[in-house]
Structure 1
């Protein structure tokens, strides 16, 4: 019965999206339908509380600040200088500057801890510059949509913290466990970009003129200020001297200072950057609020728990259980954000995982990868919505562009399942084997 209700809500959401209703309103309306017709709770009260609770967050304050940082880099031509500095070094690498989408998301993801902030910021900087230089737009969109999810896999990550609390596991171990899978995933993304570029040379822009080592070093001088800013932000975060939100504030101040020192900051582009960041941040927060209300609906109806209990009742073998959970989490990912997926299913799923003999630290990274997949899975793939708002492209167009990178995520899930040491080796090496 509950699974049938879930299917009805999914159909209602798809109909609203197909009708052109705003994404945030679609999520809110779907949640309203679920609560009004399938629960005894008053939807009006829950709507107001969900909108308030989802946006009144100190951690969330990092998102608009990081988005503003991206706007500053984009509008003051700092991003153009960064790409000019990187271009000579990547000239002989298949894919050339297209790799900056993955590398940029990897570096920025380690600072922001947010998939949406990573996707929005790097897209704002990289996408216009790649298009200007003649790179394939579909490949750029696909790589940005999926590489943006590195924000929740590369520590520190709010999603990892939530899982660690739910599983009563060591947060430090979870963080350490995320590093090698992050590098593996970045290698898979870059490998596909290189392979695509070799297969489609006619769609690649002509190579940059050959330069000497001295010329490369001179061109790289423009990278130094922004590189120092990024290193500083990562350093103070890892050292524990600042929170992610405070690091975002440092990023904004540093970007303004660099732009002012380079005489590229004007009142006009300052105002344009601020307004652009405001519009994009409001859009993201509106979607977050709608998703939070839909999450409340899911919790009141009990659909996630029913799905987990249904899988538990099958008495599957360990790897069959993992396969079933992949399907369940992907289905939930079409309607829930990652944190809600973990919170609403952990009470049922974690005991099943322990009984099947799987390591809880390993399962944490496994779930985070599934959450990453959910971020680029229609109809509620959050990164798809972020790019849709920034480019004007239909979310289905962006989803199609992301399909090859989607399969890279699947390959990463398979690899850590077959070789769990990819996840467990680093925490065991640094902290010693975990006592059972």
Structure 2
């Protein structure tokens, strides 16, 4: 979800003298005010008396998904907490906690979450609400670790939904785009802490993927392919190897024709790797290796735009070839593109719902006028594969087309009417792409 990186809030209500923006600065929010309650009771009262309200997260979205015609609410003022229950192998996390902080605290206690996104500075609640993900054939998106959701609904009441108690309804409430209520805490499944080593390989011939895509993306716990779409080679393959799964054996000097890098690399060619997580096979804790960027590096602004499209994994090679025909349009406005795999899940609004997925991610230059036409071309090429865009990134897919790609959307609308009958948490984005059935 979009967030608070570009403005400072005081306790209570902040009247806006300057429109707050998202992390990348390409979206200026239209809210009348920004609230920063300091207690759960204040939040409940605020929501109950508001006609329209949306919750802000950490700022790493690129469209109007978090905007509100009424009030915006930052949960950063609420008491933060990370409560581990080792007996049940679960941790309760308040909404504004970032994965970087969660990772450190869990690891100190001997635990981990199964996967992390490339950037660890994003909030737990916002990431799960939009089905943000990492990489790995057997790894679901971050929301698949959620076992319980605690939220404040439209009438100001606190509602708790659990996987073990609420079954199908719970599956609709985890990836909810902020449309059901203000999530104040999530309970996540945890696993024993583990160590990872990371290698980067360079110069993978694209044609190798025709026969070996599955072998490459399943060659380690987490694998990412980076390309700038300028040549017939994949620039880099990032391989994150769990030591307890590799038998302690380091990776070899080549990978399907790609050769091991002779030093640390940044995904974007020519950029210093100083802020990237440790490479060259040096072992380290999971939370310092699964992301691409170091937890102690905090980005202040993003000179970029982002898009991402999720395609059924069985169509990975076909989709890749479809996009290759757009190299001359993609490359001039691109910084880097990442290709990852994500496991299928049963969360209604997850782009990975019901299908093992390959995700095509694009980090663009910060020029909307130049980028948006290219998105239309990409979406046209990926249309035969029913690509689902990431909810928090830029896309131009028509609403009726996007809605047709989520079979549980009617059920989600019923859930929204149950918890938010007056559409208090809805905004134009949510209404257009999710709640409207026209």
In the superposition, the TM-score normalised over structure 1's length comes to 0.26
**More strand, by proportion:** 2
More helix by percentage = 1
- Higher relative contact order (Cα pairs below 8 Å, separated by 6+ residues): 1
